[in-house]
Amino acid sequence: MENQTSTSLLHIRNLAIIAHVDHGKTTLVDKLLQQGNVFRANEQVEERVMDSNQLEKERGITILAKNTAVHYLDYKINIVDTPGHADFSGEVERILTMVDGVLLVVDAFDGPMPQTRFVLNKALSLGLKPIVVLNKIDRSDARPVEALNDVFNLFIELGATDEQMEFPVVYASAKKGFAMRDLAQTSENLIPLFETIISHIPPPEADLSGPFLMQVTSLEYDSYIGQMALGRVVRGKVSVGETIGRVVGGELKEKGKIKKLLSFEGLKKVEVETVQAGDIVLLAAFPDLRIGEVLSDVNTIGELPPIEIGEPTISMEFLVNNSPFAGQEGKFVTSRNLRDRLFREIKSNVALRVEETDSPDSFKVSGRGELHLGILIETMRREGYEFQVSRPKVLFRGEGAQRQEPYEYLVIDVAEEYVGTVIEKLGPRKGEMLNMAPQKDGHVRLEFLIPARGLLGYRSEFLSDTRGTGLLTHTFHGYGEYKGDIPGRNNGALISMETGETVAYALENVQERGVLFLGAGVRVYEGMVIGAHSRPTDLAVNPCKKKHLTNIRSSTAEDAITLTPPRHLSLEQTLEFLEDDELLEVTPENLRIRKKLLTENERKRSSKK
């Protein structure tokens, strides 16, 4: 790297891959890496190799933006794989500042979807050069011509410049590893895509001779090196051992010596002595950096515009666990543990906000959506944390007549037979239909504008209504007028009135009153929610009641007890089920829904106030 000249700058390409969830961008990165000879010929490589996080592998989605680099001929292509889900758009917003172009991957059947619109709008506003990849072209139901027309219309809607409208189109199958510039052609590899990237994405504009300047766009942690800053060098060059400055708000905060510089080569991070403007690098010099801060030459303090991140729309309370089972399953249980972990998270999770409240045991955490906060909860419980969370609430703006609330742009794909049910359910939730268009195979696409409150708790209901066949996607649209009250959960809760272990004999009677969330032999406590009542009211039940032994024979004594299998709720489903007077107890081993007031007397007294 030390010998790099300005000529080598012309052989660098920095691009981000953006797409809606499940449109194939991570699979496309896999194939680019394979055909860029990143792996040995005999090397075993798992699918979606960029989804390295355990939660990403389980859920099949990208949560964190990742960096890699692939070589084609004598060009180095730095690739950023971005999340496709709207809740992780904070990851996308900060990462786009590092690149000069984007690969917009669109499913050749689905066409552009809500998240496509959101991320593309960000990319176009930053003046990035787009390349459109129509993926899954090998699908029997692919409709590339219609999908491309939809993409053109989307570019027009988003106000793309004339230059951006002249985007090249590549037809591809990421799964099979081929791409072509024309549908009439045939291809067996991704060379047409590599050539399009090199010819259309410009090399980075950079001043090699000026003083060093770089902005922190992400943070990584290494157990040996400590915290490392990820970013693109905007100006100059720098070497290991040099002293650089940390700039906050235009002022030099501290000086630090560069301990390590790493460059990306395929999936590996390679140590280098010198890095120069235009390249994306990892740099270790300061123990406590924040995203958006600037690293600069100490003699010439440089400034860069701050990274703009959209505001959160949903908040939850994170509380210290105070249930009867508190401290029995978690490793980190105190308010200090919880506070340290949450404030550590906001250093790298830029779309998250954490505020302290009047109580030292409670923190207000705000994010982009239920999934955004759900991933944080799941990550913390896997790390050994034990805590409680409240029902998600939307964040309003203004007061009184000026009150505004966040709206979501919602797209639903369902079979014709379920259209009526969906429209009927979204009516009370204040959904306003924008468009209804028939698709192939008897499906219909519905587009709505709906308050974010109206979507809380709807996903599970939607999957039940459509027998699991419907597709529901949404993205933040903006703030609008407050729509008034939206009805909450239709079912009350079945609440345990005893502390003990559930018994099949007792549960057989309880299950007639609703749906159980747990089976026999499970520890419960007074005030814990064990199921959903079939009626709108809450009902206190005794799931621990045992059959009394007598010396009198009964004609029903030999009847076998039959329990309906309980409905085990996932983390997202429990968050959707919660009401305002309930909390979710989160431990490494269990998720328990409970009432804020555990005894029935307390709840009755509270309802009379």
| CATH classification at residue 138 | 3.40.50.300
440 is a domain residue: yes
pLDDT mean across residues, the chain: 84
pLDDT tens per residue across span 589-605: 999 999 999 998 998 88
26 known ligand binder? yes
Q: Which amino acid is at 329?
A: E
Do 428 and 558 have their domain in common?
no
Nearest to 494, CA basis, from 444, 536, 449, 540: 540
302 is a domain residue: no
Low-confidence ranges of the chain (pLDDT < 50): 1-7, 39-53, 56-64, 558
SS3 78: strand
pLDDT of 557 reads 52
Do 230 and 97 form a contact (C-beta atoms < 8 A)?
no
Which tokens is 340 given? 């340290």
Do 334 and 431 have their domain in common?
no
Do 475 and 515 have their domain in common?
no
Nearest to 524, CA basis, from 499, 547, 490, 494: 499
502 known ligand binder? no
308 is a domain residue: no
**Chain-centre distance for alpha carbon 252:** 34
Residues 6+ apart with CB under 8 A from 280: 14, 67, 69, 78, 80, 98, 230, 231, 232, 264
Do 569 and 460 have their domain in common?
no
136 known ligand binder? yes
CATH of the domain at 441: 3.30.70.240
486 is a domain residue: no
Do 404 and 390 have their domain in common?
no
Do 43 and 115 have their domain in common?
yes
Please tell me the pTM assigned to this model.
0.78
Nearest to 261, CA basis, from 231, 234, 288, 294: 231
Show the domain range for 348. Answer: 314-394
280 known ligand binder? no
23 known ligand binder? yes
CATH of the domain at 287: 2.40.30.10
411 is a domain residue: yes
pLDDT of 433 reads 93
pLDDT of 419 reads 93
Within a 10 A sphere around the Cβ of 601, how many other Cβ atoms? 9
Nearest to 524, CA basis, from 547, 542, 504, 548: 542
11 known ligand binder? no
Do 232 and 263 have their domain in common?
yes
Q: Tokens 């176009």 appear where? A: 124
CATH of the domain at 368: 3.30.70.870
297 known ligand binder? no
Do 34 and 159 have their domain in common?
yes
Alpha carbon distance, N-terminus to C-terminus of the chain: 72
Cα–Cα distance measured from residue 579 to residue 430, given in angstroms and rounded to the nearest whole number: 19
134 is a domain residue: yes
Do 48 and 179 have their domain in common?
yes
pLDDT of 46 reads 43
Do 185 and 83 have their domain in common?
yes
138 known ligand binder? yes
27 known ligand binder? yes
Within a 10 A sphere around the Cβ of 218, how many other Cβ atoms? 22
| Domain final residue, candidates 343, 368, 394 | 394
Within a 10 A sphere around the Cβ of 306, how many other Cβ atoms? 11
Do 69 and 5 form a contact (C-beta atoms < 8 A)?
no
Number of domains within the chain: 5
| Domain final residue, candidates 146, 165, 200 | 200
458 is a domain residue: yes
205 is a domain residue: no
| Domain final residue, candidates 359, 394, 429 | 394
pLDDT of 63 reads 44
Do 471 and 366 have their domain in common?
no
Do 19 and 168 have their domain in common?
yes
